[in-house]
Amino acid sequence: MSDNTAKAREIAKKLLQDGTVAMVLGWEKGSEPYVSAPTVVRDAADVDRLVVDEYCIHDLAALLPDYRDHSDKIAIFAKGCDSRGIVRLIQDRVITRDRLYIIGINCPGMKDPNEFIRAASGLSKAKPADKAAKCLHCQYPNPVIYDEILGEAQKPGADQRLTEVDKIESMSADERYDFFIKEFSRCIRCYACRNACVACNCRTCIFDETKPQWVGRSTDPVNNLLYQIVRAMHVAGRCIECGECERACPVGIPLMLLNRKLIKDVDQLFGPYQAGLSLEDEAIPPLSRYRVDDPDEFM
């Protein structure tokens, strides 16, 4: 991947020097060798901070809403999942395509820095996996939208995204409820899942509102589950399956089980549909679009 780092720096330097963009969103080396943290580079002299390696797991597209009120042109590095996030943000009018210079990265799958941190600190005996959990089911390793591209095109693995969902569906209603309540009882309501999410780009989030307060803020299992039900419904049809929510979760709640269920439903009721694949009108999320022949099934 060091080859990609060199190319990434070269591209960033050129873009900043000739004034094509005012800033570059990329990754830099963090506190540990296995951490690559999101960073902003505004000066061509600083491009040597940038890296593109196997730990660049953060979805940079989730940072774009912070710049929605700026007018600066932004260069952004985008893996397959990030690029779908960018498409979604453009569709949601958070940012316009002409403000972006997208440097695509054909992504072989990333490693999860959290696993390495846990292993190094002795918190976990498990050996860190070669591929992060969120990358295992990736169907779009290659960017769907870009101005320039790094690396070799990758082949997606077998589509087994819904196996876990099917497993839950085969349980009885009471088993399912008890399973989810148990998982969500761990939630500490840190909202990391929301903050890491590209689909969560509302200016005012209903979970921050206190008048009226839509969902209870205490960390009891029921309010935690209600919070996640509402969040999952809000991103239904807009979730790009980047898996950032689940990765960001400090207590390891299997959040993608909720999102994938809704992806399955939206795909079956309105589909075939997957979010963030293209900028065409037809690719607008079914739940954000008016159609006379709407199947009206979602309620």
Partner 1 sequence: MKSFLQYLGIEPERYQLAWISGSEGQKFADIMTHVVDEIKKVGPNRKLREEHE
If the CB atoms of residues 70 and 167 are measured against partner 1, the closer one turns out to be: 167
CB of 277 closer than 8 Å to CB of 86: no
48 near partner 1, rule: CB under 8 A = no
If the CB atoms of residues 42 and 176 are measured against partner 1, the closer one turns out to be: 176
Q: In angstroms, what is the minimal distance from the CB of 218 to partner 1?
A: 9
> In a 3-state reduction of DSSP, which class is residue 231?
helix
If the CB atoms of residues 66 and 178 are measured against partner 1, the closer one turns out to be: 178
Neighbouring C-beta atoms of residue 66, cutoff 10 Å: 10
From 9-17, 140-148, 173-181, 206-214, give the range in contact with partner 1 by CB under 8 A: 173-181
Q: In angstroms, what is the minimal distance from the CB of 264 to partner 1?
A: 9
Query: Nearest Cα to 214, choosing from 196, 195, 234?
Result: 234
**Looking at the DSSP assignment, which residues form a beta bridge with residue 150?**
105
117 near partner 1, rule: CB under 8 A = no
Hey, what amino acid is at 88? Answer: R
From 19-27, 177-185, 194-202, 248-256, give the range in contact with partner 1 by CB under 8 A: 177-185
Count of alpha carbons within 13 Å of 279, Cβ hemisphere only?
12
> Which positions from 230 through 259 interact with partner 1, judged by CB under 8 A?
232-233, 258
178 near partner 1, rule: CB under 8 A = yes
Give the DSSP H or E segment for 269: helix 256-270
Q: In angstroms, what is the minimal distance from the CB of 124 to partner 1?
A: 29
271 near partner 1, rule: CB under 8 A = no
If the CB atoms of residues 39 and 224 are measured against partner 1, the closer one turns out to be: 224
If the CB atoms of residues 98 and 174 are measured against partner 1, the closer one turns out to be: 174
Give the DSSP H or E segment for 51: strand 50-51
CB of 168 closer than 8 Å to CB of 152: no
Number of residues this chain uses to bind partner 1 (CB under 8 A): 25
CB of 6 closer than 8 Å to CB of 57: no
Please give the Cα distance from 83 to 31 (Å, whole number): 27
Q: In angstroms, what is the minimal distance from the CB of 274 to partner 1?
A: 18
From 20-28, 47-55, 148-156, 165-173, give the range in contact with partner 1 by CB under 8 A: 165-173
If the CB atoms of residues 224 and 274 are measured against partner 1, the closer one turns out to be: 224
Give the DSSP H or E segment for 41: strand 36-41
Q: Which residue has the tokens 């060199």?
A: 6
If the CB atoms of residues 148 and 265 are measured against partner 1, the closer one turns out to be: 265
Q: Between the CA of residue 146 and those of 67, 70, 76, 97, what are the distances in Å?
A: 19, 21, 10, 10
Residues that bind partner 1 (CB under 8 A): 168-169, 173-180, 216, 220, 222-223, 225-226, 229, 232-233, 258, 261-262, 265, 298-299
